[in-house]
Amino acid sequence: KKSEVFSTAEDNQPCVEIHVAQGESDMVAYNKTLGKFQLTDIPPSPRGLPQIEVIFDIDANGILNVTAKDRGTNKEQNIRITGGSGLDESEIQEMMKKAEAHADEARDAKALVEAKNAAEGLAYSTDKAIKEHGDKVDSDTKEKIEAALKELQDAIENSDSPDDVRAKTEALAEVSQELGKAMYEQSQAEASDEGASAEPEDEDEDVEDVEVIEEDEPAAKA
């Protein structure tokens, strides 16, 4: 049994599609599709927050059971893939040859996907930060961040070069540091102001006055 955890790519994404494939390539496009299914009714939430656990389990009869489960709601969906759905020996050999022939192409495609995934994460967080905290930096800095963000978004949409996407990701990360610094400094200042305005506690608040009563000593007997 094996499991992996995935998440959503967009805000309020209501479902995810699980694509099960067999083959030698890291990219699904170069493998044989065994089945597809969807996990639906994911509660509205920010991208990356839902945790979708996908479990792969092969039983004694060689039947593959794939289950997708939303850890937040415990809702799940699954698919059963029998041995006949897979590849026979000749198909396996053919897939291995195909994977080898397209190894460079698959490697480049994987690199592009990984670069764009990282870029999308930074673009999303930067866009959110500039909308919520853009007033914490001067107008020139804000314009530089917005320009770098637009260039990265264009690269995500149109570029086929992993290096180009990475370069624009690094450029946005560098220029947006000023916004992060400003947000941190303001947070520190607010925390400092709150601490200074807090009234000190009265150290004697719980101390009670105690009255000492001296008893007269008994008179000595003759």
For residue 163, the domain's CATH number is 1.20.1270.10
Determine how β-strand 32-39 pairs with β-strand 76-81: unpaired
Are 171 and 87 members of one domain? no
Are 72 and 125 members of one domain? no
122-126, 200-204, 214-218: which has the minimum mean pLDDT?
A: 214-218
Q: Is residue 132 part of a domain?
A: yes
Residue 65: which pLDDT band, with cuts at 50, 70 and 90?
very high
Q: Is residue 221 part of a domain?
A: no
Are 111 and 188 members of one domain? yes
Count of domains observed in the chain: 2
Q: Is residue 203 part of a domain?
A: no
Q: What is the pLDDT of residue 199?
A: 56
Q: Is residue 50 part of a domain?
A: yes
Q: What are the helix (H) ranges across 137-176?
A: 139-158, 162-175
Residue 195: which pLDDT band, with cuts at 50, 70 and 90?
low
Are 111 and 78 members of one domain? no
Q: Is residue 179 part of a domain?
A: yes
Question: Dihedral of CA 23/28/33/36: which sign?
Answer: positive
Could you tell me the CA-to-CA distances from 50 to 3, 72, 151, 199 in Å, in that order? Answer: 16, 7, 29, 42
Are 152 and 64 members of one domain? no
Q: Which segment, 33-37, 57-61, 207-211, 212-216, is predicted with the most confidence on average? A: 33-37
Per the CB < 8 A criterion, the answer to whether 50 and 75 are in contact is no
Are 95 and 116 members of one domain? no
Q: What is the pLDDT of residue 95?
A: 75
Residue 42's nearest CA partner among 77, 6, 76, 14 is 14
Are 57 and 36 members of one domain? yes
Domain stop point among 56, 78, 101:
101
Are 40 and 61 members of one domain? yes
Per the CB < 8 A criterion, the answer to whether 172 and 199 are in contact is no
Residue 205: which pLDDT band, with cuts at 50, 70 and 90?
low
- Name, in order, each residue with C-beta under 8 angstroms of 164's C-beta and a sequence gap of 6 or more: 155
- Name, in order, each residue with C-beta under 8 angstroms of 36's C-beta and a sequence gap of 6 or more: 17, 18, 19, 20, 79
Give the CATH number, domain containing residue 63. 2.60.34.10
Residue 209: which pLDDT band, with cuts at 50, 70 and 90?
low
Are 142 and 191 members of one domain? yes
User: Residue 180's domain spans which residues?
Assistant: 104-196
137's tokens? 């930096």
Q: Is residue 156 part of a domain?
A: yes
pTM of the model: 0.66
